[in-house]
């Protein structure tokens, strides 16, 4: 084989390999990878207090009529779903009586606060406000063991 072609093939394979691992890394992102920031959860806390705590309790521990948004039962409900699913649930069905009235940013901040309350680690970047992107982040009740 011509030497130049051989080099081009090697480079092309490298590029394909690198994008494949980047894709894999994205696919396997989960709530354990620091997907919201501390500052975002801090912004979400007063919003949660105002819009959600009346029914769900100050830390989402559950109230008379509304289920808990933290703890084992809640985590079991969302285990295997995505942060996008939770975001969409919050955005389209909550707060009861004011459904769909909060902005995407407010819902993302509230969702960040919920991740904090459920003891998932904070990281450097904020949760996005597009559910397409949030669908790529898995909600896993248990921390996956590192391979
Ligand atoms: C007026 C009372 C009320 C308010 C305010 C309210 N909720 Fe709810 N929420 C409920 C009730 C009742 C349910 C259970 C029935 C249902 O699923 O619709 C529920 C269910 C949920 C669920 C599903 C829980 C699960 O295990 O699947 C989520 C998530 C949720 N609420 C989040 C929120 C968030 C976030 C806010 C604030 C933005 C909020 N709620 C405000 C009453 C309320």
Which pLDDT does position 53 carry in this prediction? 97
Which pLDDT does position 22 carry in this prediction? 60
Helix runs in 28-82, H state only: 38-51, 53-56, 72-78
Find the residues whose C-beta lies inside 6 A of ligand 1. 51-52, 54-56, 65-67, 69, 74, 77, 89-90, 93-97, 110
C-alpha 119/C-alpha 107 separation (Å) is 18
Q: 51 with 43: CB under 8 angstroms?
A: no
Torsion of Cα atoms, 133 then 134 then 136 then 139, to 10°: 170
For domain 30-134, the CATH class is mainly alpha
What is the whole-number distance in angstroms between the Cα of residue 75 and the centre of ligand 1? 14
Which pLDDT does position 26 carry in this prediction? 54
Give just the sign of the alpha carbon dihedral 66, 133, 123, 147: positive
Which pLDDT does position 129 carry in this prediction? 96
pLDDT in tens, the chain (147 residues): 677 877 777 777 777 666 665 655 555 799 999 999 999 999 999 999 999 999 999 999 998 789 999 999 999 999 999 999 999 999 999 999 999 999 999 999 999 999 999 999 999 999 999 999 999 999 999 999 876
What is the whole-number distance in angstroms between the Cα of residue 79 and the centre of ligand 1? 17
State which of 94, 98, 114, 141 you would mutate to test the pocket of ligand 1, scoring each by most atoms of that ligand within 8 A of its C-beta. 94
Which pLDDT does position 111 carry in this prediction? 98
Which pLDDT does position 14 carry in this prediction? 73
Which pLDDT does position 2 carry in this prediction? 79
pTM for the model? 0.86
Which pLDDT does position 146 carry in this prediction? 75
């Amino acid at each position: 084989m011509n030497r130049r072609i051989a080099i081009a093939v090697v480079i092309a394979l490298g590029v394909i390999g690198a994008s494949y691992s980047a894709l894999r890394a994205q696919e396997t992102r989960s709530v354990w990878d620091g997907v919201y920031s501390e500052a975002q959860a801090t912004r979400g806390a007063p919003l949660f207090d105002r819009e959600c705590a009346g029914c769900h309790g100050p830390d989402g521990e559950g109230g008379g009529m509304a289920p808990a948004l933290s703890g084992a039962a809640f985590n079991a409900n969302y285990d295997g779903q995505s942060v996008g699913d939770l975001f969409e649930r919050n955005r389209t069905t909550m707060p009861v009586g004011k459904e769909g009235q909060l902005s995407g940013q407010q819902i993302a901040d509230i969702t960040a606060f919920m991740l904090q309350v459920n003891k998932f680690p904070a990281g450097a970047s904020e949760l996005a406000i597009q559910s397409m992107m949030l669908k790529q982040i898995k909600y896993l009740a248990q921390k996956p063991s590192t391979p």
